[in-house]
Structure 1
Amino acid sequence: MTVNHCLSLVRAVDRPTAAARYGRMFDGLEPLGTDPQMLMRAGDAGGVCDAAAVLDQLAPDGDDAAGAAGWPFFGQLIAHDITADRSALMGGITTDALKNARAPMLNLEMIYSDGPVGSPFLFDANDPAKFLLSPDGHDVPRNQQGVALIGDSRNDVHRFALTLHVALLKAHNRIVDYLRTYERAPESEVFDRARIALTWHYQWTVVHDFLPRLVGAELAKEVLAEGGRWFRPKTREAFIPLEFADAAFRYGHGQIRHTYQLVEGGPYVPLFPDLVGFGPLRPEQRIDLARIFDVPGRPPAQRAKRLDGTLAASLIGLPHQVTGDVDTGAYRSLAVRDLLRGETTQLPSGEAVARLMGVPPLELADWPDGTPLWFYILKEAENGDRLGPVGGRIVAEVLLGLLRADPASYLSLEPDWQPLLPARESSFGLADLLDP
């Protein structure tokens, strides 16, 4: 595969301009249909989803998972990358809506937007092949009111998402320098080649670092080799299953801690309100990525919260900056929002999906008529940081299916491709991509 062939194929993929396509992975299953008041009680403060309320029932040795604390935030960026505003589709999935919607892709559109020509405010006017950063290099540029000039405003919601976003911008800029210095790339090709390189390294990291940690190496390897059983979209015809978007890939909410140490030896601060975004990054909010990802040669990072069906206090009581004005106090709980979203989009029960997959379903006393799929997936992974058979298969099949359906992904164009950037250890990983 020549560089020019890669460039022509990538340029041929129109940038999405409409909301992402949504559909169903298990179209034949009936909606669960739970009383919304029951969902609100379960997800609100004091309910079964409130970590503080059920603390005594959880593991007595603390709530640390095996994985580093940064992985659910990387998962959040993946979710932002493959989704767009879906407000037009919330009233129902119609043929016309799907026809006009975009095919979701893991292509870093969240940072590149329309590129230097269509989104010039993201790039350095003196060097348009590079992203523009704040003067100190730790933040994205902002207007005079502190509003981020950023490809996806959702990546400014809190300081972890922002830090990862900025790390990806810096990775692109490093690749630009490499192409100019060592490959003498023509200036007309530098931006596009850097974009392809960063996107493929990111995709490779999702496949070979993120997924094996989340769903297990065996399942990730099986789906990569054999394809999905339940999700096999054709090229350019991919959609995002609601079972993924509104249940399985919301697993990360259960891995987020209430407090974090941002730098070695520093104080522990709550995610919300202390690290809420939507304004200039203050010096005391800067995050050393080695405190949330394991980096060779550095002390072990702090760990994520164990998956146990509960959410930390920061998420049970979201701040106004995140929720805006709400009619009911319960809507400040992310657990309530997750449960109601699954009801609104008419998801089946976790037990029904398990039976369809041939997996013995859990018996959960709190949900005698069937368990909301999102909560079921969290309980299926209880006291760990790896998804169970239902959640793991949904996530693995969707992410790998989306990559295979993207004609410009490395899995489509060059499936045996290997990262070109240096690795600290035997295998390239996220820590090498972010270069903390």
Structure 2
Amino acid sequence: MAGHGSRPLRGLESTGQSSVGTAKFGRMFRWLPPAALPQTPAQDAALRATLTTLAGLMVTSEFDENVDDHKFPNDTPDAPIDIPEPDDENPRIAAGYTYLGQFIDHDITFDPASSLQRMNDPDALEDFRTPRLDLDCLYGRGPADQPYLYAKDDHVKFILGPNVGVNGMDRPDLQRTLDNTALIGDKRNDENKIVTQIQALFLKFHNKVYDKIASSFQPGEEGARFNEAQRIVRWCYQWIVLHDFLPKVCDPAVVNALMPAPGQREPRLQFFHPHGGTAYIPVEFSVAAYRFGHSMVRPSYSLNDIVLKGTATFKGKPFGRIPIFSAPPRQPTDSMTGFGEGLPPSWGLDWNFFFGTPNKHPQGQKQIPQPSYRIDAFLVDPLGKLPEFEKSGSPFASLAFRNLQRGVSMGLPSGQSVARMIGVAPAKVLSDKQLWTVRNEGENLVPWDEGKAFFDKPENKRWLAGAAPLWYYILKEAEIMHHGHHLGEVGSRIVAETLIGLAWNDHYSYLFQMPRWNPSEELLGLPASLDMLALTQWVDAP
């Protein structure tokens, strides 16, 4: 995860100047003014100081507090898997959906351009791939152009790495070079060990589908069989995005209102419309709304019944699980960081630890599946010290600051203005009091003294009164209106319209070609209500 969010995507930062009719990125609410528009170097410095302080408020220091307060057995900086954290954990969403969201983000933003193409078209105005939910991270440019991704004998099934599963589980690592570089369609899917294994899961899914449909094809029809397997895998993935992921992270009522009504073919989109006939990624989605997943990140994870914790320490105390980051120099078993590290033995994920419905287990029993953290305006402290920037002393070491500053540089509108634009009832548009003086704790709203003190300072109120940064507003909306269980009306509208809109504007998607399709129609034993846990079970079944 070290690299996630650290570099802007090609074409993103020029969206304000680019034609919305041709660029890869565009604006969903291009009529709305920026929330903050500093006019002078002094104003720019003042706003940056405000955002730096706000970012500090948004990143917790729980590791220090947990050790200093002796909160957990053996003074671990994090909770072992047999200790629930009801104030932080989301009772509705399992931890794996955090990383499925990252996998989806990589899929729709995949940019296969060469370095020369990037130089010739840095704003991605002409040379860009239209965003689709089409799993290019798996298939790359296909067997003809990237044969090293596919088995040599027939170039129709993916090559996988060694099995690192436990208890008889088949959990292959990715195929890697001698220096452990992953050979995959999108290198970003090796940036942490959970996304790595989601990538491997879908590679296995393709291979099994290819085998299962053998009876429908004659010898010599391997190409057609490959294409049919690819279609089935892509449609099942799109189904999971629209029917499993979206209803979990968004308000289900918003998703239902957008999907095609009974007897109708088209989704009922209001704000996502192709510009110039070309689908695009809204900056309000990319820079603000879809970054809700940063607040869902747990500080650490257990992987299976054997690998419950790693080898890293904090203040001399071992972690209760495996932290997302650890300071260099480090061992591969210290953290969930990826990029050029093969999966250690026995580190194959037990998917029951990551997908399914979180349950309320008593203390002393494994909290399986591990819940994600709540969607709120707080990030775990490792995200305040991104490893590649930590020693710089720059505020950019904080993912919270990066998100806030990028929203300013992209000229994003305020959360309040977007809420009013999409028709949120006036009484439900968050007030300054709700945004800055209240926070969620478990299932309760409690006073937030630090937020009030920050907002009451004139130098901060000048920028934020009635004009909260869109990313911050979306997080607070989920926190205040839904106790962090899922996104509120603004966040749900932007995220759901974008992903449904991308699927609808892809004329090869199931939503466009067969909007009433479901996975059971493939007659492969896939359930009609396919979700991520059911997918893992189908792939693992004999």
Whether the TM-score (by the shorter chain) exceeds 0.5 is: yes
Once the two structures are superposed, residues 299-341 of structure 1 have per-residue CA deviations (whole angstroms, 9 ceiling, x without a partner) of 8401000112011122122222xx5x87443222211111122
Deviates more, 1:195-204 or 1:212-221: 212-221
- In the alignment, structure 1 residue 317 sits paired with structure 2 residue 382: no
**Whole-angstrom CA distance in 2 between matches of 1:295 and 1:114:** 36
Paired residues of 2:354 and 2:370 also in contact (CA < 8 A): yes
**1:6 matched to which residue of 2?**
none
CA spacing shift, 1:234–1:221, aligned 2, 3 Å: farther
- In the alignment, structure 1 residue 400 sits paired with structure 2 residue 500: yes
- In the alignment, structure 1 residue 389 sits paired with structure 2 residue 401: no
**Whole-angstrom CA distance in 1 between matches of 2:136 and 2:348:** 25
Helix, strand or coil at the partner of 1:129? coil
**1:51 matched to which residue of 2?**
60
Once the two structures are superposed, residues 328-363 of structure 1 have per-residue CA deviations (whole angstroms, 9 ceiling, x without a partner) of 432222111111221121111111111112223212
Helix, strand or coil at the partner of 1:432? helix
CA spacing shift, 1:339–1:194, aligned 2, 3 Å: same
Helix, strand or coil at the partner of 1:116? coil
- Tell me how far 1:216 sits from its aligned partner: 2.7
- Tell me how far 1:223 sits from its aligned partner: 0.5
- Tell me how far 1:235 sits from its aligned partner: 9.5
Match 1:375 to one of 468, 472, 475: 472
**Whole-angstrom CA distance in 1 between matches of 2:231 and 2:276:** 19
**1:294 matched to which residue of 2?**
356
For residues 57-72 of structure 1, the aligned pairs below 5 Å read 61-65=86-90, 66-72=92-98
Q: Whose radius of gyration is greater, 1 or 2? A: 2
Match 2:106 to one of 80, 85, 89: 80
**Whole-angstrom CA distance in 1 between matches of 2:478 and 2:249:** 10
CA spacing shift, 1:221–1:21, aligned 2, 3 Å: same
- In the alignment, structure 1 residue 261 sits paired with structure 2 residue 302: yes
**Whole-angstrom CA distance in 2 between matches of 1:311 and 1:371:** 18
- Tell me how far 1:41 sits from its aligned partner: 2.4
- In the alignment, structure 1 residue 170 sits paired with structure 2 residue 204: yes
Match 2:195 to one of 161, 177, 186: 161
Once the two structures are superposed, residues 37-86 of structure 1 have per-residue CA deviations (whole angstroms, 9 ceiling, x without a partner) of 3222222xxx2211237999xxx942110211111110111110000359
Q: Which runs of 5+ in 2 are unaligned?
A: 1-9, 13-22, 38-46, 67-84, 164-170, 261-266, 310-320, 327-334, 359-365, 437-454, 456-463
Coordinate RMSD, CA, aligned: 3.0
Partner amino acid for 1:289?
A: W
- Tell me how far 1:148 sits from its aligned partner: 1.0
Paired residues of 1:18 and 1:101 also in contact (CA < 8 A): no
Q: TM-score normalised to the size of structure 1?
A: 0.85
**Whole-angstrom CA distance in 2 between matches of 1:176 and 1:236:** 34
- Tell me how far 1:99 sits from its aligned partner: 4.1
CA spacing shift, 1:358–1:53, aligned 2, 3 Å: farther
**Whole-angstrom CA distance in 1 between matches of 2:391 and 2:507:** 42
Partner amino acid for 2:472?
A: F
Partner amino acid for 1:36?
A: R
- In the alignment, structure 1 residue 330 sits paired with structure 2 residue 395: yes
Paired residues of 1:64 and 1:303 also in contact (CA < 8 A): yes
- Tell me how far 1:285 sits from its aligned partner: 3.4
- In the alignment, structure 1 residue 417 sits paired with structure 2 residue 517: yes
Task: Tell me the percent identity.
Answer: 37
**Whole-angstrom CA distance in 2 between matches of 1:295 and 1:223:** 24
Once the two structures are superposed, residues 123-170 of structure 1 have per-residue CA deviations (whole angstroms, 9 ceiling, x without a partner) of 111231001111336211111111111111111110011010000000
**Whole-angstrom CA distance in 2 between matches of 1:378 and 1:299:** 25
Partner amino acid for 1:337?
A: R
CA spacing shift, 1:409–1:234, aligned 2, 3 Å: farther
- In the alignment, structure 1 residue 196 sits paired with structure 2 residue 258: no
**Whole-angstrom CA distance in 2 between matches of 1:41 and 1:285:** 38
**Whole-angstrom CA distance in 2 between matches of 1:380 and 1:105:** 28
Partner amino acid for 1:277?
A: G
**1:109 matched to which residue of 2?**
136
Q: TM-score normalised to the size of structure 2?
A: 0.69
- Tell me how far 1:202 sits from its aligned partner: 0.4
**1:142 matched to which residue of 2?**
176
**2:530 matched to which residue of 1?**
428
Moved over 4 A (4+): 17-20, 53-56, 85-88, 181-185
**2:332 matched to which residue of 1?**
none
**Whole-angstrom CA distance in 1 between matches of 2:129 and 2:11:** 6
How many residues align? The count is: 405
**1:36 matched to which residue of 2?**
48
**Whole-angstrom CA distance in 2 between matches of 1:118 and 1:312:** 41
Match 1:303 to one of 371, 379, 393: 371
CA spacing shift, 1:236–1:105, aligned 2, 3 Å: farther
**Whole-angstrom CA distance in 2 between matches of 1:33 and 1:284:** 49
